[in-house]
Structures are given as C-alpha cells and as structure tokens.
Structure 1
Amino acid sequence: MDWFYAINNNRQGPVNPETLARLVSDGTITAETLVWRQGMAKWEPYGEVAAAEGLDVPGQGVDPDSAICAVDGKRYPKREMVEYEGRWISAGNRDVFFQRLREGVPLDTGSIVPGPYGYANFGRRFVAKLLDGFIVYVLNTVLQMLTMPLFASSFMRDPEAIFTYSIIIQLIGIVVGLSYGILFIRKFDATPGKLALGLKVLRANGDKLSIGRIIGRYFSEWLSGLILAIGYLMAAWDDEQRTLHDRICDTRVIKARA
C-alpha cells in the first residue's frame, strides 16, 4: 500500500513501501515526519507509525538479509519471503500480492489524500455550512428585493403573477447557489465558509473539482437534506468524515490548517 509524507507541510508521494524504507534510511523521512496511507484517520509522525506497525525506525540499523514486504511495508527475513520481479513479499502476504496481479490491480497507484491535517470533522463542517448559508441567504434576499418591483404592479391584476414570481425566486436561488460554489471552489477549492474554517473540498485523489462535479455536488446536497438531513449527519460517523453528497460525487473535505 502506497504512502504519502509531508515535507514543510507539502505533500509528497505516493511512494511504495520499499521507497518509503529507502527514504527513512537516507534521512529524508525522520521520526517527526508526518506520514499517511489509506486506512489511517489522519496524518501521524512516522516514528509513532513505525513503532505501532513494525516499520523501519530512523537511525536504527537493519539486517542486510531482510527486506521490505511490498504489501504491508514491514521488514521480514528474506528466508521467509519470496521475490517477484525485484519485489519481496512476505509469506503471509503472498496470496494477496498475486491475487492483485491476477486481477490486474496496479501495484503503485495513488491513494485518497486527506492532507497533512486530516479530514474535516462534523463540527467544523457544520459551522462552515452555517456561514455559507448566511452569505447565500443575504445574496438571495438582495436579489429578491431587486426583482420584486418588476412584479408588484402585476400582483393585483393577475393572481398568477405570484406563482410566476415564486418560480423566478426559486430559479434565482439555484443560480446564486451554483455560481457561489463554482466561483469559489474552482478558484480556492473552498467556499468562503470553508475558507474561514480552514477547509478545502477536493477529489479523493487530491485533484480540484471540475465545474461538472461542483454542479453535481450542489444538487446531491439536496438529497442529503431531503432525507431528514441524514446525508449531512453521516459525516459524524464516517471514517473519512464524508457526507452522502461526498460519497455520490467522490469528494473529501480536508483541513488545510490545524
């Protein structure tokens, strides 16, 4: 499984377990270096991860007759391993490794990236959503006030004008919401509310959201709200703090600062 590491808060990687071991050996990765791989809830110092998972410890000598397993990144004696095209696999991981080969799974692919500070928790996302909601509400209110005089004289003569006005108000709300998201997320990877809380919304592989995905995410939020807001509440117990619309659109909200 590939690893990411942070140098001066800049994400590096992905690197496979063998490369990670070499980086530890040459001093690029120290005990204090933050590292992360898929399955970890947040970035942690390499020294703590190494101690917990049996990985190479910085500054500690290694047995020359041992090697790093390409599957789990742990060091084993070579007599207990098999070599395949220059990669070493421990006996316990041999079936997993060759099963991946049979299935055509790439062995050196990138992973989901939460950033050096981890995923945004429910509370932080909730406050950011409140801020964004207030800003969008103010924008909608201003536009509604500007639009109302155009229909005021028609309300008394044509009752259907009220229905038409309500439809226009709904369309204005959609246009404002979409424009708000597209403008800020495309430029800053975050809406003003998320920027204020130090959050970013990205693809699972760390890429920026396309305009199409931003639009899809906007309408997916309707579904999150329609089911008694359970779609939003999912972020409170999901292992990657995802909401329903995050799952639908393959997005993650990460913390850009501590």
Structure 2
Amino acid sequence: MSTWYYAGAERQPLGPLSTDELKQYFRSQRITVDTLVWRDGMMQWRPLAELAQQLGLLEASRPTPFDAVAGAEALSSGPDSPSMPAPAPPAAAGAEAEPPTAPSLPERTPVAAAPAGGRAVFNLGSDPSPTPVYERPEIIQRMAATPAGDAVAARNPYLAARAPLQAQPTFVADQDVVYAGFWKRVAATIIDGFILSIAVGLCGELFGVILSDLAGGGELATMITTSLCTLILNALYFAWFHSTFNYATPGKMAIGIKVVRSHGEPISFLRALARFFATILSTLTFFIGYLMAAFTARKQSLHDVICDTVVVDKWAYTSEPERQRSELGLVAIVVLALYGLVVVAAAVLVFFVIGLAAATQRFG
C-alpha cells in the first residue's frame, strides 16, 4: 500500500498516511483538492486534484476551505509527526537502504477554481508506477530467458533490442534465377580493372621494389618480384571479395551481380582462389573462355564450369527473388559507354600517330 504525505499550512510535509487515511482526511475536509501530496515513486509534489480520479475522489462533493493553520496544529498534536521523513522502499535482505527524501515543495501557485454550478474537470497526468522496474513481470521473463553471459543487459529495461548480425544474406533455394549476362560481367570487369590498376598496381610495384632491394637483386629481380606481388594481390582481391560480404567484388556490387555455387550456395575462399587462377585458362584460349558466358545456358564462362560457379543477380537465392532484374541497368550502360568512348579515342589517336609518323618520314 502506498504511503502518502501532504503539505501543511507552513509548507511542511505531514504524514505518513495510507491511501484510506488520505481519503478519510479528504472527506473530513482536513485536506482539499488544492493540497499538495506526495508518495513513493512520484517525481514531485502534485495537487490532490490531479490524482482525484485515480484515488476515486471525484464522487465526493467538493469540500469547503477550512482553516489550514488550525488543521496543522491539530495534526501536530496527533501521532503523525510533521518532521517525519518518508519511509524507505523495501530493501533486499541483508542490505542497508537509506530512507528516501521527499522532494522539496514547489512554490505556491494559484489553482483555478472549478466552474460554478458544474462538475470539476481535472487534467489527470500520468503517474509513475509504484512497482519497481526490475519487479515487473515482463522484465523478469526477459531475465529468465536470457543466457547467463547477458545478465547485465537483461537487467536494463531501457536497452535497445538486439539481433544477431548477418554479414551475409540468407540463402534460399528452389526459385527462379536471373543469371548475369555477358555485358554485365564485362562492365563489372572494367570497374574492377580500374580499381586494380590503381590500388593493386601501386602496391605491387612498391612491395616488389622493397623485396628486390632486401634480396639484393638487380633490375630483373625487381621485375619478377613486382609481377609476383601484383599476381598475389589480384588473387587475394578476387578470392576475398567473392567469399565474403555480398559474394561480389566492388565492380560486381556496382552492377548488382554476385558469384555463388551452381545451386546458389556461397563459395569458400579456396574455391574463389581457384576460380581466379582458372581465369588464366579462359585467357589462354584467346578469351574464348570468357565469350562462353554469352552462349551457355547459365551464362557460365570456362572458369565457372571448372569451379562449379555461376554469376547471378544479387537478389537471386534470397528471400526477395522478385527484386531480380534481367535488364542491363543504368550503371552498366554508363560504364560500357564510357569505356567504348575511351577505346574509340585511343584507336583514333593510334591511327593519327601512325599517319603522322608516316607523313614525317615521307616528306622528311
């Protein structure tokens, strides 16, 4: 049962009172709806009018004002001491708890009188629940269902809900699949080639020179170590990206495609590494291994057939297969168009240089 205190005429806290005693004081006109009251769990003193509905006092008629000084003197002579502090909430066994101190009384503010001839209407604010947070049933159930290692988090009811992080999308089989066409793969290769030529090329050159200097080799040794470092960095680039995140390199992610097993399962790092070295065979066949992607049923290149992989839309084998798109896409179109312009410009420049050299030799 709640323990109540009320403000006397000199703004001093009087009590404690039980809820029934508080109601009896109201009915006997020892306190009024303008009297400030407080109990355990409340943040500040509040007029009794704001708690009238909660306490069931609206049915009682509004009492007339009484001499607050006389009432305070009568109460001071009774068993209730004006200076008695608010009792402490129940504490755990064996633990010492300090009694809570009632908040200081606010400055006296006028209270608007109820309209004459009508029933008073009060603005009832929300009142904090007297039940401690850690004793609420839903919190107890959460603590019981939480592993021992998360006990601290379970005791915090204000902690945001947590869910296990998934670095990779969920695999869903048995659905229609959109395979990545030849031109999508070409656009992704162009983007990856641009990244590799800048980042991996510079790193390979740097590591090659450093290793060659440490070994004390000459120019030939520098070329060999640089080529080996560039090859290793290229292999790690494709193997790591194809086996992690969205199973795609930055170029494939930009186009919206990914590399998976023939039935949609993710590929491992070793399989992705083997797929990279299998691309050497696709190159040695005068790039016919790459052109196979334009004619095979599942858009597989030679290295895909060797390593049992396919290149599909990024939404394939997921819970949202309807988001797959078979069209080329804006990014792929822009990349292919820009690359085409560069190739054409380079060809024109080469012919111009050759023609200029021939003309110079002829008339020189």
After TM superposition, the score normalised by the length of structure 1 is 0.51
The C-alpha deviation readout for 1:118-153, integer Å capped at 9, x for no partner, is 000000001101111111111233224534764898
SS of the residue corresponding to residue 179 of structure 2 reads coil
Aligned-pair identity (%): 32
Q: Give me the whole-angstrom Cα distance separating, in 2, the residues matched to 1:153 and 1:251.
A: 41
Instruction: Give 2:272's aligned residue.
Output: 214
1:141 aligns with 2:198: no
Q: Give me the whole-angstrom Cα distance separating, in 1, the residues matched to 2:279 and 2:187.
A: 16
Instruction: Give 2:313's aligned residue.
Output: 255
SS of the residue corresponding to residue 253 of structure 1 reads strand
Match of 2:241 among 177, 181, 184: 184
Instruction: Give 2:226's aligned residue.
Output: 169
The C-alpha deviation readout for 1:207-239, integer Å capped at 9, x for no partner, is 111111111101000110111100000001111
The C-alpha deviation readout for 1:226-253, integer Å capped at 9, x for no partner, is 1110000000111110000000000000
Residues paired across the two proteins, number: 145
Q: Give me the whole-angstrom Cα distance separating, in 2, the residues matched to 1:215 and 1:151.
A: 24
RCO higher in structure (CA 8 A, sep ≥6): 1
Cα distance, 1:254–1:165 mapped onto 2, change above 3 Å: same
Q: Which amino acid aligns with 2:276?
A: Y
Cα distance, 1:151–1:161 mapped onto 2, change above 3 Å: farther
Cα distance, 1:149–1:177 mapped onto 2, change above 3 Å: closer
SS of the residue corresponding to residue 200 of structure 1 reads strand
Deviation of 1:182 (Å): 2.6
Given that 1:140 and 1:172 are in contact with CA atoms closer than 8 Å, whether structure 2 keeps it comes out as: no
Q: List alignment gaps of at least 5 residues for structure 2.
A: 1-169, 315-323, 326-364
SS of the residue corresponding to residue 232 of structure 1 reads helix
Q: Which amino acid aligns with 2:279?
A: E
The C-alpha deviation readout for 1:162-214, integer Å capped at 9, x for no partner, is 11111111111122112212321222211111000000100011111111111
Q: Runs of 4+ in structure 1 displaced over 3 angstroms?
A: 10-14, 147-154
Q: For residues 12-161 of structure 1, what are the structure 2 equivalents within 5 Å?
A: 14=174, 36=175, 43=176, 114=177, 118-147=178-207, 150=210, 161=218
After TM superposition, the score normalised by the length of structure 2 is 0.37
Task: Give the superposed CA RMSD.
Answer: 2.5
Given that 2:260 and 2:310 are in contact with CA atoms closer than 8 Å, whether structure 1 keeps it comes out as: yes
Larger Cα-atom Rg? 2
Deviation of 1:12 (Å): 5.3
Q: Give me the whole-angstrom Cα distance separating, in 2, the residues matched to 1:210 and 1:174.
A: 20
